[in-house]
């Protein structure tokens, strides 16, 4: 049952790495949070104006917590906002989503006052909302579920095909999912026994299928699992190769962050990214929910913190940490090919990496790393531009001037409007990603072509003249 089968994707440069961020190996990192517990995980959502909103629980005093809120502008400006909540005894890792009207909603669990019978002290699911600006958060005055285990957290959230919020949260003996808000809404216990952890939710934009993913370490039900929640409930499915035979017995990968589940922008398809192997992870894999097998994205030594994010035009970003560095790779529009793996040096002084997440719905990837730097634990972020692929070919034909044809693509998809420079001449690529330069003489081998395009890292190639 543990036989390994892999779909063969065309991987462009998958064994090569590209370093980004200023000088080679020196990306520009911004510290997002102050000193935190190593169990804290940020949640994030991008509003229609391109601003990325980031929320996390933080200790603000002895036995007191708040949800801190920060924004990252499309230009990269980081701003710490007013806390969403403050003066709670405990707060779990939360889920931030954008409603269909563009407003923000935070779903969370917590206890405002230990020992109190106040509605906010019963450990239920709660919610707070704000306009797209992220200003003036409003805490709903009622509990959002009759279930009282959401305070354990973490909480996951999505919108179903009707725009209704769906929440999920894990306790030691149950994974609870609820479609809709309010104490009158029915809850589903979707886990297959004890010890579910790290739930994630996503909805396919085309089919309307809502799926929950989670990690289980209960005996005989180990591994990462998925289950369809809506429009009708399905049976739990084990994600391929998240259980391995080790020393003659089944053993599973473990997750110490939210399961990496994502829906493509515009659909179709729901995808899970995860590390494979035990006791040491040996690859980063991607599985389309419902497929017979998975895709191996990269061979790694001890990968951890695998994350996933949708990108424009149906693409996906996958990111992870390994060997003290961070890595990211982006797919083509059809999620059938992947580009070169991008290698990113860590923030200064990193000793331990706890988790890695990213948000790439605007095109570039905003990578978030929860790390320990010489003692303090905090979350940092850096901005990663997707790479371009460039080829330049010299052409000669009788009766015509020599020329160079340049092709610019993004994991095989043509990039129109890219700026191309060759030997002092400039041109823009057409809808097929091509630009042609006529020359006075046949170019010598090694002539350099440089390319820039909005939202991409600069690229270059040399002409193989003949």
Same domain, 147 and 229: yes
Same domain, 288 and 355: yes
Domain annotation covers residue 1: no
Same domain, 157 and 110: yes
What is the rounded CA–CA span in Å between residue 289 and residue 240? 10
Same domain, 410 and 282: no
pTM confidence score? 0.91
CATH classification at residue 454: 2.60.40
Residue at token pair 């053993």? 251
Pairing of strands 10-11, 337-338: parallel
Q: What pLDDT, on a 0 to 100 scale, did the predictor assign at position 457?
A: 95
SS3 119: helix
Same domain, 95 and 23: yes
Residue 267 structural domain: 10-384
Task: Express each pLDDT in 211-235 by its tens digit.
Answer: 999 999 887 788 999 999 999 999 9
Q: What pLDDT, on a 0 to 100 scale, did the predictor assign at position 24?
A: 42
Same domain, 305 and 415: no
Domain annotation covers residue 430: yes
Query: In the chain, how many domains are there?
Result: 2
Domain annotation covers residue 43: yes
SS3 17: strand
Q: Which residues of the chain have pLDDT under 50?
A: 1-17, 21-25, 465-466
Residue at token pair 């499309």? 74
Q: What pLDDT, on a 0 to 100 scale, did the predictor assign at position 20?
A: 54
CA 248 to chain centre: 34
Same domain, 411 and 369: no
User: ω before 268 within 30° of 0 (cis)?
Assistant: yes
Contact 293, 269 (CB under 8 A): no
Residue 66's DSSP bridge partners are 58
The CA angle 289-293-294, to the nearest 5 degrees, is 75
Pairing of strands 341-344, 17-19: parallel
Contact 121, 143 (CB under 8 A): no
Residues in the chain: 466
Residue 187's DSSP bridge partners are 178
Q: What pLDDT, on a 0 to 100 scale, did the predictor assign at position 442?
A: 84
Q: Tell me how far CA of residue 439 lies from CA of 121, 398, 423, 444, in angstroms.
A: 75, 14, 9, 11
Domain annotation covers residue 173: yes
What is the rounded CA–CA span in Å between residue 32 and residue 191? 34
Same domain, 76 and 137: yes
Contact 326, 356 (CB under 8 A): yes
User: CA nearest 71: which of 127, 118, 130, 121?
Assistant: 130
Q: Of the candidates 359, 384, 409, which is a domain's last residue? A: 384
User: CA nearest 387: which of 342, 433, 333?
Assistant: 342
Same domain, 118 and 267: yes
* DSSP, residue by residue, 329-389: EEB-TTSSEE-PEEEEPPSTTEEEEEEEEEE-TTSSEEEEEEEEESS-EEEEEEEEPPPPE
Q: Of the candidates 384, 401, 420, which is a domain's last residue? A: 384
Q: Of the candidates 384, 405, 426, which is a domain's last residue? A: 384
Domain annotation covers residue 4: no
CATH classification at residue 313: 2.130.10.10
Domain annotation covers residue 5: no
Domain annotation covers residue 3: no
Same domain, 350 and 398: no
> Encoding tokens for residue 343?
């290698």
Q: What pLDDT, on a 0 to 100 scale, did the predictor assign at position 192?
A: 54
Domain annotation covers residue 2: no
> Encoding tokens for residue 424?
């002092």
Same domain, 18 and 116: yes
Same domain, 239 and 101: yes
Instruction: List strands edge to edge, sheet with 295-299.
Output: 260-263, 270-276, 283-288, 295-299
Q: What pLDDT, on a 0 to 100 scale, did the predictor assign at position 128?
A: 98
Q: What pLDDT, on a 0 to 100 scale, did the predictor assign at position 7?
A: 39
> Encoding tokens for residue 308?
């996933």
What is the rounded CA–CA span in Å between residue 245 and residue 206? 37
Task: Express each pLDDT in 358-375 by its tens digit.
Answer: 999 999 999 999 999 888
Contact 230, 208 (CB under 8 A): yes
What is the rounded CA–CA span in Å between residue 225 and residue 289? 10
């Amino acid at each position: 049952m543990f036989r390994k089968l892999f779909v063969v994707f065309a991987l462009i440069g998958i064994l090569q790495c590209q370093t980004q961020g200023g000088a080679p190996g020196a990306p520009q990192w911004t510290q997002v949070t102050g000193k935190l517990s190593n169990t804290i995980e940020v949640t994030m959502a991008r509003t229609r104006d391109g601003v990325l909103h980031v929320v996390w629980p933080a200790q603000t005093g002895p036995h007191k917590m708040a949800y801190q809120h920060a924004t990252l502008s499309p230009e990269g400006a980081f701003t710490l906002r007013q806390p969403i909540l403050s003066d709670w005894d405990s707060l779990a890792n939360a889920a931030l989503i954008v409603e269909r009207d563009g407003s923000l909603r935070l779903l969370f669990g917590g206890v405002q006052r230990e020992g109190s019978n106040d509605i906010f002290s019963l450990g239920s699911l709660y919610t707070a909302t704000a306009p797209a600006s992220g200003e003036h958060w409003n805490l709903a005055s009622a509990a959002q579920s009759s279930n009282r285990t959401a305070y354990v957290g973490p909480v996951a959230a999505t919108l179903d095909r009707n725009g209704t919020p769906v929440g999920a949260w894990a306790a030691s003996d149950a994974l609870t999912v609820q479609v809709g808000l309010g104490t009158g809404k029915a809850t589903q216990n979707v886990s297959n026994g004890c010890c579910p952890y790290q739930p994630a939710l996503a909805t396919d934009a085309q089919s309307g299928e809502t799926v929950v993913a989670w990690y289980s370490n209960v005996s005989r039900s180990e591994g990462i699992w998925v289950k369809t929640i809506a429009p009708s409930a399905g049976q739990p499915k084990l994600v391929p190769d998240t259980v391995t035979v080790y020393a003659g017995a089944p053993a599973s990968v473990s997750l110490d962050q939210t399961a990496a589940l994502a829906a493509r922008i515009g659909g179709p398809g729901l995808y899970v990214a995860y590390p494979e192997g035990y006791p040491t992870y040996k690859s980063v894999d991607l599985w389309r929910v419902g497929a017979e097998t998975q895709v191996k994205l990269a061979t790694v030594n001890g990968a951890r913190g695998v994350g996933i994010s949708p990108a424009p035009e149906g693409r996906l970003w996958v990111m992870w940490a390994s060997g003290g560095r961070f890595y990211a790779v982006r797919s083509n529009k059809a999620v059938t090919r992947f580009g070169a793996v991008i290698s990113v040096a860590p923030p200064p002084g990193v000793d331990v990496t706890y988790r890695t997440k990213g948000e790439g719905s605007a095109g570039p990837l905003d990578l978030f790393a929860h790390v320990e730097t010489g003692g303090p634990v905090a979350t940092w972020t850096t901005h990663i531009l997707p790479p371009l692929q460039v080829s330049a070919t010299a052409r000669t034909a009788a009766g015509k001037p020599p020329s160079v044809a340049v092709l610019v693509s993004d994991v095989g998809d043509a990039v129109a409007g890219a700026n191309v420079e060759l030997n002092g001449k400039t041109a823009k690529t057409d809808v097929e990603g091509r630009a042609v330069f006529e020359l006075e003489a046949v170019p010598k081998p090694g002539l350099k072509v440089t390319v820039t395009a909005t939202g991409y890292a600069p690229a270059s190639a040399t002409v193989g003249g003949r």
